[in-house]
Amino acid sequence: MLLQVLLTVAAILFCIGIYGVISRRNAVGVLLSLELMANAVNLNLISFAMFNENGAVGQAFTLFAIALTVAEVVVGLALVVLLYRTRHNALLELASDLKR
């Protein structure tokens, strides 16, 4: 019951993140939603670690995930700055070079 509640909360956070990622027009907004999704995953990991005899390894794994997320945020923000420099705005639809 407890595990299911935790997983459900994580699932809800993850889906809110999905909604934000798809609907945000601003690049920073998309990054924020990505953070939501990453945190939902972290919550999952911690929950399973708590229900495991060897929980310390799960926590270490979560730490790895957090570090990865931070690295991703750093690179993502660098890209946003770059986008702003070339387009003078951070709106994602301006970066539609793939179409051409």
Partner 1 sequence: MSPLQLGLIAVFTPLVVATLLVVIRPLRHTGKPAAGLSILGAFASLGASVMLMVQSLGAHPVDVIHEVRWLPVAGETLATIGVQLDGISIPMMLVVSLVATCVQVFSFEYMNTETNEDFGRYFTWQSLFLFTMQGLVIAPNILQLFICWELVGLCSYLLIGFYWKKHSAGRAALKAFWITKFADIGLLVGLIAQYSVTETFGWDPATVTALSAAGMINVVAALYFFAVMGKSAQFPLHIWLPDAMEGPTPVSALLHAATMVAAGVFLIVRAFPIFIAAEQAMPVISVIGGVTAIAAACIAVVQTDIKKVLAYSTCSQLGYMVAALGAGSLMGGYFHLTTHAFFKALLFLASGSIIHAVHSNEMADMGGLFKKMKVTGTVYIIGSLALAGLPFFSGFYSKDLILETLFESAQHNPIFWVPFIACMVTAGLTAYYMGRVIILVFFGELGEKSSHAHEHGFAMTAPIVFLAIPALFAGLGGGQLAHLYGVHDFHFAVVHFTPVGIAASTLAFGGFAAAYAIHGLGMAGGLVNSLTPVGDFIRSAPIDRSWLFVYRSILSAGAQALGWFDRYVIDGAINAFGASLINTGERMRNMQTGRVNDYMHAVLMGILVMAAFSQVWLRLGA
Partner 2 sequence: MITPMLAGILFLSWLLIFCAIKVATTKNLVHSVFWLAGVLLLMAAVFVILGAPFLAGIQVVLYTGGVITLMLFGIMLTQRKPDTQVAMDAENRGPALATAVGMLLVLLTAIWGTPELATMTPSPQMVGASEVGKIFLSTQLLAFEVLSLLLLAAMIGTIVLVRKGDH
- Interacting residues toward partner 1 by CB under 8 A: 18, 21-25, 30, 92-93, 95-100
Measure the CA–CA gap between 29 and 68, rounded to whole angstroms. 19
Is the sign of the CA dihedral 66, 67, 73, 79 positive or negative?
negative
Q: How far is the CB of 70 from partner 1 (least distance, A)?
A: 20
Taking the least distance from each CB to partner 2, the nearer of 5 and 99 is 5
Residue 42 touches which member of partner 1, partner 2, none, C-beta under 5-8 Å by kind: partner 2
Residues sharing a CB contact under 8 Å with residue 13, sequence separation 6 or more, in sequence order: 36, 37, 39, 40, 43
Radius of gyration of the chain (CA): 17
CB nearer to partner 2: pick between 4 and 100:
4
- Residue 30 binding partner per list partner 1, partner 2, none, with a CB distance cut-off of 5 to 8 Å that depends on partner kind: partner 1
